[in-house]
Structure 1
């Protein structure tokens, strides 16, 4: 099976909302996701997708910035592949494609957060060469 990896225009971000909704197990409403993605579209954000024909089966947000400790960095956000497409090497291919995309844009590092209880993702990212740098803290205002 042949998949396509690409960056979608920020005007088309609505196509990834169903996947991000699944990722968050419905804890964030679709209407809130729509509002947030609309706002994200005007920031240093891009969205990479995996297409199976015309169907979006995977997604990763990309936040671009410069950080004092690592230089030009892209932070992966809401990485998700539909369950039926997992364990087939697709995630590895997607990460490789994103890595090359970031390098071509002149970025020097990639970062991400993963939920503490998501053990399969920890193993996957270790195998992709990621290291744990610290803890991510959150305070709601």
Structure 2
């Protein structure tokens, strides 16, 4: 029922697991299985109700999709970055996770959010998946696996917001993906992040999945 997550457990310093709630999911069985974990991520395609206060809703995640076939690359002022992780870039990476469940769940008290997002941007840099705007007005990460691409982190510096950088960052990621042979792009965000959802819709992205996420804390 619960799958151990060795990476998360090692990073956070306590036992972490994940569980996908299907039609046969039982709260009592889940709670019994979860006793050996400090934290369990619980994913469901439908909203769930609980009697236990140990399980709380933390996110309704949206996955956006766009077909890139036949799309011509646009000229942007955003280019691949291969330098070191600077404090400014790290700050932007942390800002990109402002709506993340790892940031909004107050039961994280050991800087788990910062650890996770630092590692995320470091990995993207190592794999040359980071694109930055002029004067570091913003950045985006884009992973390409065969013919599918995915935007991971994206943020615009506070003093450059409202100037169209968000759209240009996504266009740059699409260019990057097309040049590497991708035919589609997905982007994940939180329902609470209304500006991001509006931007993705305006650029032709459609919601293909809604996932309810809960955290169990032991």
TM-score (norm 2): 0.50
Aligned to 2:207: 132
Sort the Cα spacing of 1:80 and 1:36 in 2 relative to 1 into closer, same or farther, 3 A.
closer
Partners of 1:13 and 1:47 within 8 A in 2: no
1:13-32 equivalences in 2 (<5 Å)? 13-14=85-86, 16-25=89-98, 27=103, 28-29=113-114, 32=116
Sort the Cα spacing of 1:139 and 1:86 in 2 relative to 1 into closer, same or farther, 3 A.
same
Stretches of structure 1 that go unaligned for 5 or more consecutive residues are 67-71
Sort the Cα spacing of 1:42 and 1:8 in 2 relative to 1 into closer, same or farther, 3 A.
closer
Max radius of gyration: which structure? 2
Sort the Cα spacing of 1:42 and 1:86 in 2 relative to 1 into closer, same or farther, 3 A.
closer
1:110 aligns with 2:185: yes
Provide the C-alpha distance between the structure 1 equivalents of 2:197 and 2:154, rounded to a whole number of angstroms.
13
1:58 aligns with 2:138: yes
DSSP-derived class of the 2:92 partner: helix
For each residue in 1:70-101, what CA deviation from the matched residue of structure 2 results, as whole angstroms up to 9, or x when unmatched?
xx111001111112212212222222222222
Once the two structures are TM-superposed, the CA of residue 138 in structure 1 deviates from its matched residue by 5.3
For each residue in 1:13-32, what CA deviation from the matched residue of structure 2 results, as whole angstroms up to 9, or x when unmatched?
44521101223349422x55
DSSP-derived class of the 2:186 partner: strand
Aligned to 1:79: 154
Provide the C-alpha distance between the structure 1 equivalents of 2:139 and 2:131, rounded to a whole number of angstroms.
6
Aligned pair count reads 128
Once the two structures are TM-superposed, the CA of residue 107 in structure 1 deviates from its matched residue by 0.8
- Give me the CA root mean square deviation: 2.8
1:12 aligns with 2:90: no
Sort the Cα spacing of 1:136 and 1:65 in 2 relative to 1 into closer, same or farther, 3 A.
farther
For each residue in 1:93-124, what CA deviation from the matched residue of structure 2 results, as whole angstroms up to 9, or x when unmatched?
22222222211211101111011101111111
Provide the C-alpha distance between the structure 1 equivalents of 2:122 and 2:172, rounded to a whole number of angstroms.
25
Once the two structures are TM-superposed, the CA of residue 38 in structure 1 deviates from its matched residue by 3.6
